[in-house]
Structure 1
Amino acid sequence: MNKKLNRKNFMIRAGFSSVLFVGIVGVSLSAVLTAEAKDWLKEKGFLKPSSLPTINSSPSTEAPLPTSAKEIDVDRKLVAQASYSRSNNIGVLTNPRVFSDRVTSQNQENVYFFSLAQPSNISLYLDNVTSSVGMRLYVDTNGNGSIDSGESVDSRTAYSSSAGVIKRTLGGDNYIVVVKFSGGNSAYNLQIVNNTNDAINVGSLKGTRNFTGSINRNTREKYYRFSLSNPSDVRLSLDNVTNSLGMRLYVDTNGNGVIDSGESVDSRTAYSSSAGVIRRRLGADNYFVIIGGSGGNTNYRLTMFAP
C-alpha cells in the first residue's frame, strides 16, 4: 500500500515539477511526463482527456495545404484527359483499395476516381515514397466529371519519413484524388479506405464481447460500432499488444451513422505492460470505437462489456 502511494506521489510531484520545467524551457507537459504518468493523472482529474496523438480524428482538423488557382487548373486539365480512360475508376468505394505506381518528371500526376453511396468516414494514406509526393482530394459537386473552382476538399504531402494522410467525413458524392510529382521521381502506395463500410457491427451491447485483430500497414485502424438500448456502465479494455496502441470512443449524437466533429467521448492507450481501459456511464445511443496507432505493428484484444 505504501509503495503504491509513494509511486502515485512521485508521479504527482513529477507532474508539478514538469510544469515548472515547462515554464522555464518552453517544452510541452506531454513531452515531459511518461505515458503511464499521464494516464494516471488523467484518471485522477489532474489532466483532461485529450485526443490520442496516434489516431487522427475525423473529420480532419488540420488545415489543408494551400491549393492555388493555377494548381487547380493543372489538375482540371489532367482529370479531363484521364476521364477518357478512367483506368483508375474505383466506382462505389466499399472495400479498402491499394494502388502502387510512380510519379516522375515525365509522368507527373496520376488520377483516381471513386464515389460514395452514403456519408462515410474515409481515410487516404500515401506512403512508401523516396521523395516528397503530393496528394489532393476533390469533390465533383456538379457531377460534370471535372474539377471546378470550390471543389477542393483537402491536400497533404508524403515524405520518405512520414505518410501523407487525409481523414474526412464525406457525403454521398463523386470524388477525385490526384497524386502529384513534387520533389523528385518516386514510387508510391496509395490506400483508400471506407472506414464506415468496413466497421465491425457489434449490435446491441449486452454482456461481454471479445474481439481480436492486428494493426499493420494494411490495416492501420479498425472501427467497431455498437448500440445501447438503456443507460449503462460500459467498460472497454484493450490489451495483448506488443506496441503502444490507441483506443478512442465516439457517440453518434446526430444519428447519421458516421463520426463527426464534437462526438469524441474518451480515449486511452494500451501498452505491452498495461491495458488501456475506458469506464463510462453511457446513455442509450449508437457508439463507435476506433483501434489504431503509430507505435508499430501489433496484435490486440478488445473486450467490451455492458450489464
Structure 2
Amino acid sequence: GSVAPINFSKQLPAGNYHIRVFPESTDDATAYRMQLASTPIVLSDPSDPGSTAANARDLGTLGATLQIDDIVGSFDAGDIYRFTVTAPTAVTATISQQIEDVFIELYGDLDGDGNLEFQDRLASGSDGQCCGSVADITVIQQLPPGQYHIRIAPESSDDSTAYRLSLSTTPLTVSAPNDPGSTSSTARQLGVLSVPQTINDIVGSFDAADVYAFSLSAATTVSATISGQTEDVELYLYGNLDGNGTFDFDERLGSAGDDQCCGNVRDFSLTKHLPAGDYYFLIQPEGSDDASVYQLALSTSPITISNPLDAGDTIATARDLGTLATPISLDDIVGSADATDVYAFTLSGHATIAATINNQFEDVFMQLYGDLNGDGQFDFNDRLASVDDGLCCGGIQEFSLTKALGPGNYHLLIQRESFDDSTPYRLSLTATPFAVGNAMDPGQDIATALNVGSLASPFAVTDYVGSFDTADIYAVTLAAPARLRAGIANQTGDLLLELFSDV
C-alpha cells in the first residue's frame, strides 16, 4: 500500500500530445495532484530537417566542421540532411547529447530514383547500448565527390530525444583530380609499363569502379598491390580480347581480394605473366556499402623468350623449326591475346620425337598435328597426340609427349588450358631416328603393295605406319594350301592386322 511521487520527463518535437492518468488496478481510487512544466529545447533551425530525400535540409558543400542541434521522435520519425563533397573526402558524423536511442545512416542515391533504399546505404551506426543507456555514436566514411544524405531516426517508436549532430571533413589525397573512369573508353591511360608506378585514388559510392589501361611492348611479369584501403575492394585484370570494348567474363585474366571478413582489411597482390598487348586493371568496391581510398602499386619484370617474334597460331604463320637435326630448347609465352603458339617441323626419315613442357606457372596443353588432308587447317582427324600435366586446382608439373613418326611435315601446338591462363614455358624437342627394314614404303593399296612372294622361307620386316603413312600392304602368294601365320611385335601404338583375298 506504499506510494511515492511519480515523475517522467520526455523530450518531444512540436505536436499535440495527451497525458493519461489511470488507476494501476481496479480497486485503486485516489485523488492526485499533477504538475506540468516544459523547458524549451534549443534547435539550430526551427524548421524540421525533413524526412525524405526530396525535402531534406540542404547543408550545401561541407566545410571543415558543422554542428546541428535538433530533435527526432514521435511525430518527427526521421531527420534527413543533404550535403555535397566536391573532392575525395573523409566525412565524420557524430551524434551526442541524446537521452534516448537513435541511429544514424549515410546514403548516396546511387540509382538516382530519389529514394533512400537499402542498396544506397553506405554506412550506419548506433550506440550499441541497451536498457536505456546511451553513448555517443560516430560514423566515418571515405567518399568520392557527390551528393549524400544523413538520416537520423529513433531506434524504436517510444524513443524521442534531442541530439547534436557534429560533422567534420578531412581531404583525401589522390594522385590526380580527375576520376580514372569506369570503362575501357574512359580508363586512365598509364602507357607502356616500364617503371614502377604508385597511384592513390578512391572508389565506392557514385564511383563504382576505377579502370587503368596499360600496354606491354614485350613479354612481362606484372605485379599489382592494393594497400591503404579502409574497406573492402577487389582487383581485376582484363585483356580486351574480342575488341568490343567491354570487360567480358572470358576476358578476365586474374582477380584478387584480401580474403578478410567482418570489416577487416589487409594488403593484397596480383601477379600475372603476360605477352605483349593492351590490358586493364579494374578496381571496385566489394559491396555496395564499401567506399575507400586505396594505393595501387605496379611493378614489372621482363620475361626472357627465345625469339621476340610470336610463334604464330596457324599453319601459315607457324614458327619453322626445320628438320630437328639437333635437340631444340626454346622459351616463349602463351596466354591472353596470344592463345596459341604453333611450331612447324619436318622429318626426312622415320624418328621418335619427344617434346617436353616445363617452367610454366599456369596450365597449358600440347597437341601434335599432321595436316593429313592438306587443307591447311588443324582438323580433329589430323591430331596425332595431345597431353597436359594432368593436375587440377592450380597445380602444375612438367609433362612430355613421345611419338614415333614417319617422314613428313608436322606441327606442335602449345595452348593455354583456360582463358585466364597466361604463362611462359620452355619447350624441349628432340628427334631420334629409327630404322625400317625396307627403304620402299609397302604402299597403301593392292597396286602399290610390297610383294613378299610365296613365303618359301619366313619373312620378317621392320617398318612404320601412322600419320601420313596410314597403311602398309604386303602381297603374299600361296602355291598350295597352307596355314598362314602373321604376328606384330615391338609397336608403341595400337595397330590392326587384317587379311584380305582379292576374290
**Shorter-chain TM-score tier:** 0.3 to 0.5
Q: Structure 2 length as normaliser, TM-score?
A: 0.24
Q: Normalising by the residue count of structure 1, what TM-score does the alignment of the two structures yield? A: 0.38
> Which structure's residues are more often helix, by fraction?
1
Structure with higher RCO (Cα < 8 A, 6+ apart): 1
